[in-house]
Amino acid sequence: MSATKFRFTEQALLKLSGSDKRTRYYDSQMPGLIIDVLPSNKKTFRVYKKLPGTQKPLAVTIGSFPSVTVEQARKQARKAMADIAEGMNPNDSKRHFRAASVTLQAVYKEYTHSRELKPITLRGYDQVMDCYFDDWAKKRLADLTENRIYRRHCELTKRSPAQADLAMRMLRALFNFARAEYKSSDGRTLFPYNPVAVLSEKRCWNNVARKQTRLRPSQLKPFLKVVNEMRNEAIVHRQDFTATVCDFVEFMTYTGLRKTELLELEWKNVFLDDQLFCLDDTKNGHGLELPITKPLEEIFKRRTEYRVSGFVFGAENHHGRVMEPKKIIKQMNELADVSFTLHDLRRTFCSVAETIGVGTYTLKRLLNHKTSRSDVTAGYTVLTAEELREPANRVCKRLLEYAGIETGVGDSSIEQLKLQLSSLSKEQRLQLMSAMMG
C-alpha cells in the first residue's frame, strides 16, 4: 500500500499533517474518494472520478474533516459516484440548489460588487431596492414570478409611472445578471428566462416621455436678474453658500453641464491663463476640456475671492463643496416667478445652441454626450477647447441677448468683431490682413 493510498479511518486521517504544498490521499476501501490536505492543515473530502465519455476527472467537494466523518464521507461519495455513473454531474446539482435558493438581495449584492459604480449611481440603485423591493429582498429570485412582477408594476404605476418603469428596468438587469452568473458545468444558464419580459408581452411599460421643459427666451431676463440680485445681497450679508449656489446656477446656464460634474469641478482643473477648464469624472467616463467664456471668467474670478476648498463651488462642510442647492433654487423660482430645474438649464443651453446653428458633433462635445460606436465620423471628430471656443461664445452671446444684458461681455462692436475673427481660418485671416494692408 503506497503512502498516499490507504484505508481511511478517523485515527489515520488525524495523523495527517500539511506540508509545503497540497497533498492528495486516496481511500483504498472506496476508489474515487480522496482527501486533500493543504499546508494550513485543512482536510477536505472529495470525489475524484470521470464522467462517462470524458477524459478529465470531476472533483466533487463533500466537506471538511473532521466536521464530516469518514463514514459520512463514504455515504455521500457513494451517492455522488452513482450520479456520475449515470452521466450526471453532481456539481450541477449543487449549482441548481444554489440558484434555487439565491435571494434578490444576494443577486443585487453580487451585481453591485461586480461593477465599478460611482457613489451617486449606487445610491440611486439602493433607493430603488429600498423603496420598491424592500419586501422582496429576502425572497428567492426563482419565486419572483411573472404574475408577481406584473402586479407590482401595476401598483407602482398608480404612484408614479416613471418610477414604476425605473424599478422594473432595475429588476430586469438583475435577472439578466443572474442568467450570466449562475450556470451549469457545460455553460447552460440556470436562469434561462427573464420574467420581467411579461411587461413587454402585455405592453405594460408606461414609456413616460422625456421632459421638454426649458427656460423660454422671455424667461431668461427675469431669471438671470434674480440670480444676480440674490448673489449681490448674499455677498453683502456674507451668505457664502447662497452666493456660491448663484454662481453655480449661472455657470450651468452658460454651459449646460450636468449638475454633479460641475459641482465636482476642482481648482486644479481650471486654467485661467489658458482660458480653459477640464472635467475628469464625467457621466460617460470621458474627460472634457472646455473654453472659459467671458461670463465664466467673471464667475471664476469671483469664486477665487471666496475660495474655501479645492472645489470651485466650495462650501464649509465635510464634503468641501455644495451638495444640494434645492432650497436656494426654490427661492429663485419664487422671486423670478418661473419654474425651472437644473436640467432645464441644460435643455435651454442645448436648444439655444441648436437655433444658432451649432453643429451636431460640436454640440455633443459641449454637452459631453456619448456618440454611438457605429458613428465612424464621430470617432474622427476631435474637438479641443480652442475649437469649441467660438461656438461656446456664440451661445453665450445669444443667451445674453435674450437676458437683455448690455455689457462688454459680447455686445460691443469690438467683441462682436473678435467673435467673427475667431471663426475665420488661418488662411482667411491672412487674406483679410493682406486686403487691409493693400
119 belongs to a structural domain: yes
Residues 274 and 391 in one domain: yes
CB contact at 8 A, 298 and 396:
no
What's the confidence (pLDDT) of residue 411? 46
In this structure, the dihedral spanned by the alpha carbons of residues 289, 290, 292 and 295, taken in order and rounded to 10 degrees, is -140
pLDDT tens track, the chain, 438 positions: 467 888 898 888 988 888 888 888 998 888 889 898 998 889 999 888 887 777 788 788 888 898 889 899 998 888 888 877 777 776 666 655 566 678 999 999 999 998 888 888 898 999 999 999 999 999 988 889 999 999 999 999 999 999 999 999 999 999 999 888 877 655 677 788 899 999 999 999 998 877 778 888 889 999 999 999 999 999 988 999 999 999 999 999 999 998 988 999 999 999 999 999 998 876 656 678 899 999 999 999 999 999 999 999 999 999 999 999 999 999 999 998 888 888 899 999 999 998 888 887 788 888 876 655 555 455 545 677 888 899 999 999 999 999 887 544 444 455 556 556 655 666 777 777 777 776
Residues 186 and 287 in one domain: no
How far is Cα 306 from Cα 233, in angstroms, rounded to an integer? 15
411 belongs to a structural domain: no
In this structure, the dihedral spanned by the alpha carbons of residues 214, 216, 221 and 224, taken in order and rounded to 10 degrees, is 10
Residues 294 and 228 in one domain: yes
424 belongs to a structural domain: no
CATH number at 191 reads: 1.10.150.130
Tell me how crowded residue 274 is: count the other CB atoms within 10 A of its CB. 12
How far is Cα 125 from Cα 177, in angstroms, rounded to an integer? 15
418 belongs to a structural domain: no
437 belongs to a structural domain: no
Residues 11 and 146 in one domain: no
Specify the number of domains making up the chain: 3
What's the confidence (pLDDT) of residue 135? 94
- Nearest Cα to Cα of residue 365 among 348, 347, 384, 352: 384
CATH number at 266 reads: 1.10.443.10
Peptide bond into 217 cis (omega under 30): no
How far is Cα 150 from Cα 156, in angstroms, rounded to an integer? 10
Grid cell in block for residue 101? 435558493
352 belongs to a structural domain: yes
415 belongs to a structural domain: no
CATH number at 50 reads: 3.30.160.390
258 belongs to a structural domain: yes
What's the confidence (pLDDT) of residue 368? 76
Domain boundary among 170, 201, 232: 201
How does DSSP assign 218-235, residue by residue?
Answer: HHHHHHHHHHHHHHHHHH
Residues 81 and 34 in one domain: yes
Q: Which domain holds residue 30?
A: 5-88
What Å distances lie between residue 202 and 6, 149, 153, 171, 369, CA to CA? Answer: 64, 12, 12, 17, 33
User: Residue 298: phi, psi to the nearest 5?
Assistant: -65, -40
Residues 265 and 397 in one domain: yes
CA angle centred on 100, ends 96 and 105, rounded to 5°:
130
- Nearest Cα to Cα of residue 381 among 395, 390, 389, 371: 371
DSSP for residue 140? B
